[in-house]
A and B are shown apart, each in its own frame.
Chain A
Amino acid sequence: MATAAEKEGVVLLDFWVSPFGQRCRIALAEKGVEYEYKEENLSDKSPLLLKMNPIHKKIPVLIHHGKPICESLVIVQYIDEVWSNNPLLPSDPYERAKARFWADFVDKKVSECGTRLWKLKGEAHEEARKDMIEILKLLEGELGDKKYFGGEIFGFVDVALAPFTAWFYTYETCGKFSIEKECPKLTAWAKRCKERETVSKSVHHPHKVYEYVGKLKKKYGVE
């Protein structure tokens, strides 16, 4: 007898701490889709991963009925379009364009700046710190007084950014600044996200992330 996961035909190739993979997990959970989770060893990538994402050889990869979809925001949009319950994107074209813009902003800015924050020293580190505060403030500006970026609905931008809430502690500690002080509304939003089961089940404790980054720092010889 086929399991629910087998019936849906959804497999997710992922890595436990990846915020990009977590976006997919959150989106699938929001839609109530059963799937098979496959943890990848990034230093020894599986033949399946290499076959399903030959261009980038990266996770996450969603495999639906044998066909691969790559790039986390492309995957999240695919999930939103295939499973139409609990829509993540609004129906109004202008609001959709805004949501796509801000999800893309998160994609372009947060992780890249975060990496500079833990990897670099001196002036470059100071620049990364300033940049991160600016990025978070811009996001807070877009959030405003809304419950979520999607308004009352936990939407596309929320899914794009929620996994990074587990990295806030790392960013603050590496950057020596307080996100709560700089962005109180964003901090409150992060708390609300963590209270959502779909997020809390997909995202790891901030200290685990910090521990993981500590190992990366050792690996790259950053003290």
Chain B
Amino acid sequence: MAAAGDHEVKLLGFWASPFVMRVSIALNLKSVGYERLDEVLGSKSEVLLKSNPVYKRIPVLIHEGKPICESMIIVEYVDEVWAGMGPSIVPSDPYDRAIARFWATYIDDKLASAIWIILGKLEGNKEEAVEQIAAMLPLLEDRFKNCSRGKDFFGGDTIGYLDIALGCYLGWIRAVEEIVGVKLLDEKKTPLLVGWSERFCVDGAVMNVMPRADDLVELSKVM
């Protein structure tokens, strides 16, 4: 599944990072071959520090020697550069696009910090963090109803921008469920999201890059 020279596209990442996963999924959707350069936990490579001097963090996409940083910005870049290949990731209608970008920002603001608080990696009240996630999911269930218009994904027939923005967290959501012993994604409360999450995880573009919840649970012990 290689296109236009694998060496031209490099992804600085880490197997467990949901943000890196976003980029992998986008590249997979476009059938773009790329070289994975994984960081070692606890240290930052020279390549990373040089290519992302502002934040010094993954993911960084290096395309033809030029670095692109910040996961959803990279996803839009991939969609634009390889516009002719694979499905469109970003919605074509400006209003749908604005909605997708709004919810991706909301997800990043609320979900990421809640997960890290629950894992004890960020200061905060764990119970409140669990409640925060529980409060978000019905909103996203509603959003799914509106965006999908009866189809499989937020993006319609194929995985799109908002699917990627949210779906990358599924591994960690399952890990948190195991660690805390609380069901966050509950088919009784958010059946559409549960159905969506199952379809998302088995999609060809996602399957090989979604980390297993067990592995994430083990990782969270040593992080």
Q: Given A93-B81, A100-B73, answer yes or no on A77-B101 (Cβ-Cβ < 8 Å).
A: yes
CA distance A94 to B54 in the complex (A): 17
Contact of B95 among A55, A67, A71 (CB under 8 A): A67
Partner-binding segment picked from B16-24, B64-72, B123-131: B64-72
Within 8 A of A (CB), among B72-100: 73-74, 76-77, 80-81, 94-95, 97-99
Residue of A74, A97, A101, A104 with most partner-chain B CB within 10 A: A97
Within 8 A of B (CB), among A82-109: 82, 93-94, 96-98, 100-101, 104-105
Q: Are A77 and B98 in contact (CB under 8 A)?
A: yes
A70 at the interface (CB under 8 A from B): yes
Q: Which residues of B contact A17 (CB under 8 A)?
A: none
CA distance A75 to B95 in the complex (A): 10
A69 at the interface (CB under 8 A from B): yes
Q: Which residues of B contact A100 (CB under 8 A)?
A: 70, 73, 76
A177 at the interface (CB under 8 A from B): no
Q: Are A69 and B76 in contact (CB under 8 A)?
A: no
Q: Given A96-B77, A138-B54, answer yes or no on A74-B94 (Cβ-Cβ < 8 Å).
A: no
A182 at the interface (CB under 8 A from B): no
Residue of A74, A75, A96 with most partner-chain B CB within 10 A: A74
B180 at the interface (CB under 8 A from A): no
Contact of A101 among B69, B106, B139 (CB under 8 A): B69
A37 at the interface (CB under 8 A from B): no
Q: How many A-B residue pairs have CB under 8 A?
A: 54
User: How far does the Cβ of B159 sit from chain A's closest Cβ, in whole Å?
Assistant: 20
Q: Are A101 and B105 in contact (CB under 8 A)?
A: no
Within 8 A of B (CB), among A162-183: none
Q: Are B106 and A78 in contact (CB under 8 A)?
A: no
Q: Which residues of B contact A104 (CB under 8 A)?
A: 70, 73
Within 8 A of A (CB), among B174-192: none
Q: Which residues of A contact B74 (CB under 8 A)?
A: 97
A81 at the interface (CB under 8 A from B): yes
Within 8 A of A (CB), among B45-73: 54, 63, 66, 68-70, 73
Q: Which residues of B contact A71 (CB under 8 A)?
A: 101-102, 105
CA distance A100 to B77 in the complex (A): 10
Q: Are A101 and B70 in contact (CB under 8 A)?
A: yes
Which residue of chain A has its CB nearest to the CB of B53?
A138
Give me the interface of B with A, judged by CB distance under 8 Å: 54, 63, 66, 68-70, 73-74, 76-77, 80-81, 94-95, 97-99, 101-102, 105-106, 139
